[in-house]
């Protein structure tokens, strides 16, 4: 396949960036987008030129490290699929493919396609945990959790933390990410005691870091973990519960 | 020939003491723990501990020490702790909680683990693993891991290789992810409290040793390139395994051996480096640009059957091959365990079929893993609930739906049983340097059982290191961490700076990936599933030549004062090259077969690994020379009382 790549290059956070064009003549439909970038980087380095900086790690769609904007869409054209699992078979011979960093004011560019997503960690730090110290937990079998509840909790817990939801949102909202964690923890018996406090502190942090949600729903189309839009409902519901409890 | 060669490469050292209390191994941990010294709650804030890595072992250790009230400085090269490679573990975590009436027990767990490891691990370590596993499940459940549940609400379990009971706890095919997220959430809780300070995008490049004692580390800020020291009362390395020495492995792309190997260069012993696990069910490499060997969980072998066509070179589509022309070779060769034999046995069997010309796929380098019969038995809905994300992952990668067409899988480098040597307290021979999780050698011997790695990382992080580290710290009460002006600190920082400058200054023509790729091919070919003295000796020679070319002709673009991924890789590959040499020396020195270390000269008449307990019932503990010269191989003898030494048998028992 012949592919024209337009790639965002930006040396540091505060330096201006620009698109750089590369012609690839030997792309294969079975390659992933990242394997194509590996291939291009091998060529660039062999010529003594700076390779394109991008992040990836597990290449199995579970670690959430990768994440670039492909033709304007976070992660790429295949819905609900991480960049490392996006294949060139989505494109045709002669296509132009534009690669940019995730677009969000909450994600400053570090270099080229690498962004700083630490805002997501600060959401978790605000309360996305259960306050039980090592060794103090009761017998896990003594507490029965219905099969359906455990499965539902996992449907929200499986978020990979890639941050594509924020990048896809016209408002730059982090409510899918935050709502998924709130929903996950609210379904399980442990940590119920801190449920309202968690909702308040994570909600406040999400408001400080990200934009508001107006239910465009773009987030759930790109989410590689398939987190359902009901996570947004859970976000709102947890906020409402927390307010009601306080008053 | 072999001996002559070995004499140039290593000298024989002495016995090292693992510090296991005498007597019954089943009670060794309780007795040892009772003897530990304590640090009182008010004194804990006066101690600083460095933790490198935030996978299951690192995040658990950092969080637990923080919960106890110690100051923790945690360093990770990822942007976020949640990225650590524990996240990618799929199948489950073992615990002999023995709730079912399938006759499980801690002793049976120890027996399975010791036998699975082919009698090359410490029995007492395995007892600790079994004993602490009970509260690992309780704890991980409480801090947010939504373990699979039966319809009655009880924890669900399944079976894994090398085991005839059902003791593996799981969350679909993403158990590692859920445990890692729970652990890092607990870590974030401590970060919010201020007990843990997290340094993300920082890579450890050296260990600071003062008067033989571990006193700190040197790190490079991967965004700015700044190199600086951190000192502390103790350091914990939880930096994962070194399977990426094979270049294309199941590991994440950034997993590396640098932190552990630089500690080794500073005097920490390396144990059993040749003990590498080849996972039997990974995606075969079908093209040179394929970036890794994707892992398909062992749990699939609960339901999927492994087979090859009986005819060599049979290229018909798998669904067109009739039943009587399929060889379910694992079920045929190992009737008692069938498809659930341990990984080393399955990998060798797969490799044998492929070698004999019955491999499938375009390059004839795989075997089939087939869900057809299970789907017919329980329906596709149940199979999706058990493995949905794995099947989707395979589908995305290959464009073939494993619910309709058998998967193609083959052996790929996966887990390193070897690692930094530690005593029963998880401390290396360098006082103050502790090691946890896959970075250490403990528990797994010459072959790890499935679902025991998440367990060992959790046990080390949450329940071993939080009591062994304070035992060491107690004697340092009233002391400060080493001053940053100390000559030992500044000298180490200078050496790190010089090392980085050297990589940038070589100015050659070959990119680092070329070296890594050559090294990987060499190791797969000569230190892979099958090994021989002749091939290993040749491999050592070739690795030494590769190192010379690396030092003469490496090309690293860019500078050290910026985000430079080529520079990061160059440092890691320089360590991989030296580690590969040590692996081959160890494999040559260990003149027996055991577990995943299969020396073709030593096999039973039906092709199983043949141990030599008279000469090799020990852990090989390698000391690196400070000047160019041969390695010293020490030994820690292994004794077995609860699980008597015997030839492994997965055929009939």
Q: Same domain for B404 and B335? A: yes
The neighbour count for residue B17, using CB atoms within 10 Å, is 11
Name, in order, each residue with C-beta under 8 angstroms of A227's C-beta and a sequence gap of 6 or more: A155, A156, A158, A159, A165, A176, A180, A219, A220
**Is B80 in contact with A120 (Cβ distance < 8 A)?**
yes
Domain end point (choices A81, A96, A114)? A114
Asked whether the CA dihedral B219, B223, B224, B225 is positive or negative, the reply is: positive
Q: Same domain for A92 and A190? A: no
Q: Same domain for A85 and A105? A: yes
Residue with the two structure tokens 């992040």: A55
Q: A217 CB near a chain B CB, below 8 Å?
A: no
Q: State the pLDDT confidence band at B4, using cuts at 50, 70 and 90.
A: low
Q: Which residues of A touch B151 (CB under 8 A)?
A: 146-147
Q: Same domain for B335 and B446? A: no
| pLDDT greater than 90 at residue B262 | yes
Q: Same domain for B507 and B362? A: no
For residue A133, what is the nearest residue in chain B, using CA coordinates? Answer: B67
Q: What does the H/E/C string look like for B502-569?
A: HHHHCCCCEEHHHHHHHHHHHHHHHCCCCECHHHHHHHHHHHHHHHHHHHHHEECCCCCCCCCHHHHH
CA distance B289 to chain A (A): 7
> What CATH number corresponds to the domain at position A131?
1.10.1060.10
SS3 B175: helix
Which one of B68, B72, B83 would you mutate to disrupt binding with A, by most A Cβ within 10 Å of its Cβ? B83
Nearest to A138 among B138, B143, B148 (CB): B138
Query: What whole-number distance in Å separates Cα of residue B531 and Cα of residue B601?
Result: 9
Q: What percent of chain A has pLDDT over 90?
A: 98
**Is B83 in contact with A45 (Cβ distance < 8 A)?**
no
For residue A140, what is the nearest residue in chain B, using CA coordinates? Answer: B138
The CA R_g of chain A, rounded to the nearest whole Å, is 20
Q: Same domain for B168 and B238? A: yes
In a domain? residue B260:
yes
Number of domains, chain A: 2
Q: Same domain for A107 and A125? A: no
**Is B144 in contact with A129 (Cβ distance < 8 A)?**
yes
Q: Which residues of A touch B553 (CB under 8 A)?
A: none
Q: Which residues of B touch A137 (CB under 8 A)?
A: 135, 138-139, 141-143
Nearest to B214 by CA among B395, B35, B390, B50: B50
CA distance A194 to chain B (A): 13
In degrees and rounded to multiples of 5, residue B329 shows phi and psi of -70, -30
In a domain? residue B495:
no
Question: Please, which residues bridge with residue A6 across strands?
Answer: A21, A98
Q: B185 CB near a chain A CB, below 8 Å?
A: yes
Query: What whole-number distance in Å separates Cα of residue A108 and Cα of residue A14?
Result: 9
User: Per residue in A229-243, pLDDT tens?
Assistant: 999 999 999 999 999
User: Per residue in A7-25, pLDDT tens?
Assistant: 999 999 999 999 999 999 9
Domain residues for the domain of A33 are 3-114
**Is A85 in contact with B393 (Cβ distance < 8 A)?**
yes
Cβ under 8 Å to B: A residues 75-104: 78, 81, 85, 87, 89
In a domain? residue B231:
yes
User: Per residue in A80-92, pLDDT tens?
Assistant: 999 999 999 999 9
pLDDT of residue B286: 80
Cβ B433 vs Cβ B269: under 8 Å = no
pLDDT of residue B3: 64
How is residue A95 written in tokens?
């296509």
Query: What whole-number distance in Å separates Cα of residue B626 and Cα of residue B212?
Result: 14
Asked whether the CA dihedral B377, B379, B382, B384 is positive or negative, the reply is: positive
Q: Same domain for A190 and A226? A: yes
pLDDT of residue B203: 98
CA distance A112 to chain B (A): 10
Q: Same domain for B458 and B576? A: yes
| pLDDT greater than 80 at residue B142 | yes
Nearest to B557 among A49, A81, A117 (CB): A49
Q: Which residues of B touch A198 (CB under 8 A)?
A: none
In a domain? residue B544:
yes
Q: Same domain for B295 and B211? A: no
Q: Same domain for A134 and A236? A: yes
Query: What whole-number distance in Å separates Cα of residue B210 and Cα of residue B215?
Result: 6
Cβ B220 vs Cβ B226: under 8 Å = yes
Q: B41 CB near a chain A CB, below 8 Å?
A: no
Domain end point (choices B398, B413, B428)? B413
Print burial letters for B140-151: b (CB count within 10 Å at least 16), e (below 16): bbbbbbbbbbee
The neighbour count for residue B226, using CB atoms within 10 Å, is 12
In a domain? residue B19:
no
Cβ A209 vs Cβ A181: under 8 Å = no
Q: A21 CB near a chain B CB, below 8 Å?
A: no
**Is B87 in contact with A63 (Cβ distance < 8 A)?**
yes
**Is B565 in contact with A140 (Cβ distance < 8 A)?**
no
* pTM > 0.95: yes
Q: B311 CB near a chain A CB, below 8 Å?
A: no
Inter-chain contacts counted by CB atoms under 8 A, chains A and B: 215
Q: Same domain for A8 and A100? A: yes
Nearest to B466 among A129, A131, A134 (CB): A134
Q: Same domain for B3 and B71? A: yes
Q: Kindly give the pairing relationship between strand A68-70 and strand A96-101.
A: antiparallel
Q: Same domain for A138 and A72? A: no
Q: What percent of chain B has pLDDT over 70?
A: 99
Q: State the pLDDT confidence band at B166, using cuts at 50, 70 and 90.
A: very high
Cβ A147 vs Cβ B151: under 8 Å = yes
CA distance A110 to chain B (A): 8
Q: B559 CB near a chain A CB, below 8 Å?
A: no
Apex B259 CA angle, B174 and B228, nearest 5: 120
Q: A151 CB near a chain B CB, below 8 Å?
A: yes
Check residues A200 and B296 and name the one with the higher pLDDT.
A200
Per-residue pLDDT, averaged over A138-163, amounts to 96
User: Per residue in B370-390, pLDDT tens?
Assistant: 999 999 999 999 999 888 888
Q: A118 CB near a chain B CB, below 8 Å?
A: yes
Q: Kindly give the pairing relationship between strand B305-309 and strand B326-327.
A: antiparallel
Q: Which residues of A touch B181 (CB under 8 A)?
A: 157
For residue B507, what is the nearest residue in chain A, using CA coordinates? Answer: A48
Nearest to B87 among A30, A59, A62 (CB): A62
Asked whether the CA dihedral B460, B466, B471, B472 is positive or negative, the reply is: positive
Nearest to A150 among B146, B189, B513 (CB): B146
Q: Which residues of A touch B177 (CB under 8 A)?
A: 62, 158, 160
Q: State the pLDDT confidence band at A247, using cuts at 50, 70 and 90.
A: low
Average pLDDT, chain B: 96
Cβ A236 vs Cβ A195: under 8 Å = no
Q: Which residues of A touch B566 (CB under 8 A)?
A: 45, 51
Q: Same domain for A107 and A41? A: yes
Q: Which residues of A touch B291 (CB under 8 A)?
A: 32, 34-35, 38, 59
Query: What whole-number distance in Å separates Cα of residue B66 and Cα of residue B50?
Result: 11
In degrees and rounded to multiples of 5, residue B94 shows phi and psi of -80, 145
User: Per residue in A168-224, pLDDT tens?
Assistant: 999 999 999 999 999 999 999 999 999 999 999 999 999 999 999 999 999 999 999
Asked which of A46-55, A202-211, B199-208, B641-650 is least confident by mean pLDDT, the reply is: B641-650
| pLDDT greater than 90 at residue B421 | yes
Per-residue pLDDT, averaged over B39-44, amounts to 98
ipTM of model = 0.98
DSSP state of A217: -
Q: Same domain for A130 and A218? A: yes
> What CATH number corresponds to the domain at position B622?
3.50.50.60
Q: State the pLDDT confidence band at B91, using cuts at 50, 70 and 90.
A: confident
Q: Which residues of B touch A133 (CB under 8 A)?
A: 64, 67
Nearest to B152 among A125, A143, A144 (CB): A144
As to burial, measured by CB atoms within 10 angstroms (0-12 exposed, 13-18 middle, 19+ buried), residue A86 is buried
CA distance A26 to chain B (A): 11
| pLDDT greater than 90 at residue B299 | no
Q: Same domain for B472 and B451? A: yes
CA distance A232 to chain B (A): 20
| pLDDT greater than 60 at residue B2 | no
In a domain? residue B32:
no
Apex B267 CA angle, B261 and B271, nearest 5: 60
Q: Residue B259: CA atoms inside 13 Å, Cβ hemisphere, count?
A: 32
Q: B295 CB near a chain A CB, below 8 Å?
A: yes
Q: Same domain for A219 and A171? A: yes
Nearest to A150 among B138, B147, B287 (CB): B147
Q: Same domain for B425 and B408? A: no
Q: Same domain for A110 and A131? A: no
Domain residues for the domain of B74 are 1-10+47-275+417-483+502-653
Q: What percent of chain B has pLDDT over 90?
A: 91
Nearest to A86 by CA among A37, A17, A31: A31
In a domain? residue B38:
no
Which one of B138, B147, B255 would you mutate to disrupt binding with A, by most A Cβ within 10 Å of its Cβ? B138
Number of domains, chain B: 2
Query: What whole-number distance in Å separates Cα of residue B314 and Cα of residue B309?
Result: 6
Q: Same domain for B543 and B587? A: yes
| Strand ranges inside A25-120, DSSP E | 68-70, 73-74, 96-101, 109-111, 114-115
Domain end point (choices B354, B383, B413)? B413
Domain end point (choices A71, A96, A114)? A114
pLDDT of residue B653: 62
Q: Same domain for B51 and B75? A: yes
Q: Same domain for A144 and A193? A: yes
> What CATH number corresponds to the domain at position A73?
3.10.20.30
The neighbour count for residue B410, using CB atoms within 10 Å, is 26
């Amino acid at each position: 396949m012949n592919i024209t790549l337009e790639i965002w290059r930006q040396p540091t956070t505060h330096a201006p960036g620009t698109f750089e064009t590369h012609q690839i003549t030997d792309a294969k439909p079975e390659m992933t987008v990242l394997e194509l970038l590996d291939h291009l980087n091998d060529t660039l380095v062999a010529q003594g030129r700076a390779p394109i900086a991008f992040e990836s790690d597990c290449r199995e769609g579970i670690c959430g490290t990768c994440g670039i904007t492909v033709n304007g869409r976070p992660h790429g054209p295949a819905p609900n699929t991480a960049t490392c699992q996006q294949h060139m078979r989505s494109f045709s011979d002669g296509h132009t493919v534009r690669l940019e960093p995730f677009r969000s004011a909450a994600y400053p560019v570090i270099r080229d396609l690498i962004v700083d997503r630490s805002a997501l960690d600060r959401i978790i730090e605000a309360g996305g945990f259960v306050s039980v110290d090592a060794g103090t937990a009761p017998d896990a079998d003594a507490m029965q959790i219905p099969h359906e509840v455990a499965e539902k909790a996992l449907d929200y817990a499986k978020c990979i933390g890639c941050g594509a939801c924020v990048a896809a949102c016209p408002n730059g909202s982090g409510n899918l990410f935050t709502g998924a964690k709130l929903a996950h923890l609210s379904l399980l018996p442990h940590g119920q005691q801190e449920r309202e406090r968690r909702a308040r502190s994570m909600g406040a942090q999400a408001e400080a870091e990200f934009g508001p949600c107006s239910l465009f729903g773009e987030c759930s189309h790109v989410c590689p973990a398939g987190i359902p839009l009901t996570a947004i409902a859970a976000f709102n519901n947890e906020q409402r519960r927390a307010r009601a409890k306080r008053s | 020939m072999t001996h002559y060669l070995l004499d140039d490469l290593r000298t024989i050292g002495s016995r090292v003491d693992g510090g296991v209390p005498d007597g019954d191994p089943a009670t060794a941990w309780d007795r040892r723990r009772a003897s530990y010294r304590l640090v009182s709650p008010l004194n804990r804030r006066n101690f600083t501990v460095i933790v490198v890595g935030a996978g299951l072992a690192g995040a658990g250790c950092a969080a637990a020490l923080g919960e106890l009230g110690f100051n923790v400085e945690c360093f990770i090269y990822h942007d976020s702790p949640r990225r650590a490679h524990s996240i990618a573990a799929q199948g489950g975590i073992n615990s002999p909680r023995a709730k079912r009436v399938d006759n499980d027990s801690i002793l049976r767990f120890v027996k399975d683990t010791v036998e699975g490891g082919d009698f090359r691990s410490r029995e007492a370590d395995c007892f600790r693993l079994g004993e602490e596993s009970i509260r690992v499940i309780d704890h991980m459940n409480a801090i947010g891991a939504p373990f699979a549940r039966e319809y009655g609400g009880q924890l669900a379990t399944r079976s894994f290789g090398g085991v005839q009971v059902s003791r593996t706890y799981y969350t679909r095919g993403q158990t590692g992810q859920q445990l890692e997220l729970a652990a890092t959430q607990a870590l974030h809780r401590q970060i919010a409290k201020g007990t843990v300070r997290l340094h993300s995008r920082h890579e450890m490049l050296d260990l600071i040793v003062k008067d033989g004692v571990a006193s700190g580390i040197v790190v490079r800020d991967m965004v700015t390139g700044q190199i600086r020291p951190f000192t502390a009362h103790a350091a914990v390395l939880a930096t994962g395994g070194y399977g990426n020495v094979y270049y294309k492995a199941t590991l994440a792309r950034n997993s590396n051996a640098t932190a552990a190997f630089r500690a080794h260069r500073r005097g920490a012993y390396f144990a059993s480096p040749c003990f590498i696990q080849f996972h039997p069910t990974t995606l075969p490499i079908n093209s040179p640009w394929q970036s890794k060997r994707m892992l398909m969980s062992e749990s699939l072998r609960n339901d999927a059957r492994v087979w090859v066509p009986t005819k060599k070179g049979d290229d018909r589509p798998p669904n067109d091959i009739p039943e009587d022309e399929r060889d379910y070779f694992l079920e045929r060769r190992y009737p008692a365990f069938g498809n659930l034999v341990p990984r080393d046995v399955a990998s060798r069997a797969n490799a044998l079929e492929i070698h004999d010309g019955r491999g499938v796929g375009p390059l004839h380098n795989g075997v089939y893993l087939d869900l057809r019969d299970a789907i017919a038995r329980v329906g596709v809905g149940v199979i999706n609930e058990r493995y949905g994300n794995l099947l989707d992952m395979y589908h995305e990668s290959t464009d073939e739906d494993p619910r309709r067409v058998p998967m193609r899988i083959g052996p790929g480098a996966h887990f390193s049983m070897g690692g930094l040597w530690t005593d029963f307290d998880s401390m290396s021979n360098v006082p103050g340097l502790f090691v946890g999780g896959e970075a250490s050698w403990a528990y797994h011997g010459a072959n790890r059982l499935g679902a025991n790695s998440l367990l060992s990382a959790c046990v080390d992080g949450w329940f071993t290191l939080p009591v062994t580290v304070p035992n060491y710290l107690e004697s340092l009460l009233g002391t400060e961490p080493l001053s940053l002006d100390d000559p030992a600190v500044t000298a180490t920082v200078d050496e790190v700076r010089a090392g980085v400058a050297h990589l940038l200054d070589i100015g050659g023509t070959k990119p680092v990936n070329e070296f890594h790729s050559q090294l990987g091919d060499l190791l797969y070919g000569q230190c892979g599933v099958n090994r021989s003295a002749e091939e290993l000796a040749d491999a050592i020679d070739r690795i030494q030549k590769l190192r010379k070319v690396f030092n003469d002709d490496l090309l690293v673009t860019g500078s050290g004062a910026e985000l430079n991924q080529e520079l990061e890789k160059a440092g890691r590959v320089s360590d991989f090259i030296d580690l590969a040499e040590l692996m081959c020396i160890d494999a040559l020195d260990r003149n027996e077969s055991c577990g995943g270390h299969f020396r073709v000269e030593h096999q039973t008449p039906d092709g199983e690994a043949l141990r030599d307990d008279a000469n090799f019932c020990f852990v090989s503990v390698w000391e690196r020379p400070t000047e160019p010269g041969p390695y010293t191989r020490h030994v820690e003898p292994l004794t077995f009382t609860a699980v008597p030494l015997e030839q492994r048998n997965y055929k009939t028992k």
